[in-house]
A and B are shown apart, each in its own frame.
Chain A
Amino acid sequence: MKASQDMKADVAEVLLTEEQIAARVAELGRQISADYAGHEVTLVSVLKGSLPFMADLMRRIDLPLRIDLMEVSSYGGTATESSGLVRILKDLSAPIDGRDVLLVEDIIDTGLTLNYLLRYLKGKNPRSIKVCALLDKPARRLVEIPLGYVGFEIPDAFVVGYGLDFGEVYRNLRFVGVLRPAAYES
């Protein structure tokens, strides 16, 4: 697929403005700061979609914290077809045993990736593990997983921006928007 030179032209509707996202991220930061007061939390960002959210969220948490990054292969990705099973493309750089972990995700839809990640991370014996997702699309859920923190519940639409991509494009939009069907049907 080839995105328009003007990426915004491919967006049918702005679902969440930059200001709405910033305000909600600040609220989440306050809530997390209160909930984890007295503890040192490890934020684990799931690449690549959660990068902007992670960057903004961590600066809204008033606690000593560590960050780490993970990347898992996605179904249909060329790097994964040889094995046919999800793989950890980038693992944690430090142990998390005995630590309070907050898994930072951009969007939860089917829950399949998250389900795999949580099982994997629980095997590393953290003291606690919760999920903080910017967007929750419950209409698409296959695996029900309790989400500790949710930025926004969104309707069943194909969204891009603020880290979310289509064909690796649109991640740098500062808002979350609904992609025009023409952009992915072409």
Chain B
Amino acid sequence: MTDFEAARGPHPDYAFAHASEAELGRILDFYQVAWEYEPTVFPILWDLDGNVLESFAPDFFLPDLELFIELTTLQQRLVRKKNRKVRRLRELYPGLRIKLFYARDFRALMLKYGRSALVSEFSGTLGQVTSHQEVDGTVGPEDRLDGLDRSAGSKDDTDPAESGWIAEPGPRYERRSRSARRRAVRRAAAATIHAPAT
């Protein structure tokens, strides 16, 4: 076992939401950059009673670099949704560092590493291995849609102000345990299986 492996402990058995996330995990492992998968859920939208309507869990956190990474290797139409969430996150948590990794960034990374054959697999829904984002009751309607059916288009891109929801800054976020993350992924996967075809 190398020093790096000893420091990080055994490789976590994460259930990734998308094949591109698994690939990024392998890349970070390769370069010995410590990471956690969806460790934190940030509320980004509340109703008037203070109930969380929408949350956002960035895909990766690199603790040594204090950096969150969100991958958006899906269809362009869903990128707007991610952009909006990241913008909201930055407004509500100004000290937080987050890097949005677009499909083109990931494609370039794969080309750089000579893995061009994988590029097509990471576009659209083909790279989807399961769904994610639904977390312990803090999830909003968009997240549920995100988790259940990324391929079916979306009612998203709705401005919160237009929807009537009111966003109140409340920079308290939830750090999830590994078991909580696994439970959430299992629930989301089960929901995917039972979701009606569209």
Chain A CB count within 10 A is highest, among B29, B99, B108, for B108
The answer to whether B32 touches A84, judged by C-beta atoms less than 8 angstroms apart, is no
Of the residues B30, B69, B104, B109, contact of A85 by C-beta under 8 Å: B30
In the complex, what distance in Å separates the CA atom of A112 from the CA atom of B64?
A: 13
Total interface residues on A, CB under 8 Å, equals 27
**Chain A interface main SS type:** loop
The residues of B that contact A185 with a CB separation of less than 8 Å are 116
Q: Assign chain B's interface to a size class.
A: 20 to 34
The answer to whether A75 touches B67, judged by C-beta atoms less than 8 angstroms apart, is no
- B65 at interface (Cβ–Cβ under 8 A)? yes
Smallest CB separation, B39 vs chain A (Å)? 17
Q: A85-B2, A167-B114 are in contact. Are A75 and B65 (CB under 8 A)?
A: no
From residue 63 to 84 of chain A, which have CB atoms closer than 8 A to chain B?
74-77, 80, 84
The answer to whether A84 touches B65, judged by C-beta atoms less than 8 angstroms apart, is no
The residues of B that contact A27 with a CB separation of less than 8 Å are none
Interface Cβ pair total, 8 Å cutoff: 59
Smallest CB separation, A109 vs chain B (Å)? 7
In the complex, what distance in Å separates the CA atom of A45 from the CA atom of B151?
A: 46
Q: A109-B112, A184-B111, A185-B116 are in contact. Are A85 and B33 (CB under 8 A)?
A: no
In the complex, what distance in Å separates the CA atom of A142 from the CA atom of B106?
A: 12
Smallest CB separation, B172 vs chain A (Å)? 27
The answer to whether A76 touches B114, judged by C-beta atoms less than 8 angstroms apart, is yes
Smallest CB separation, B78 vs chain A (Å)? 21
The answer to whether A116 touches B31, judged by C-beta atoms less than 8 angstroms apart, is yes
The answer to whether B108 touches A140, judged by C-beta atoms less than 8 angstroms apart, is yes
In the complex, what distance in Å separates the CA atom of A112 from the CA atom of B31?
A: 6
Q: Mark A128-170, 1 if CB is under 8 A from B, else 0.
A: 0000000000011111100000000000101000000011000
Of the residues A77, A84, A156, contact of B114 by C-beta under 8 Å: A77
From residue 22 to 43 of chain B, which have CB atoms closer than 8 A to chain A?
26-33
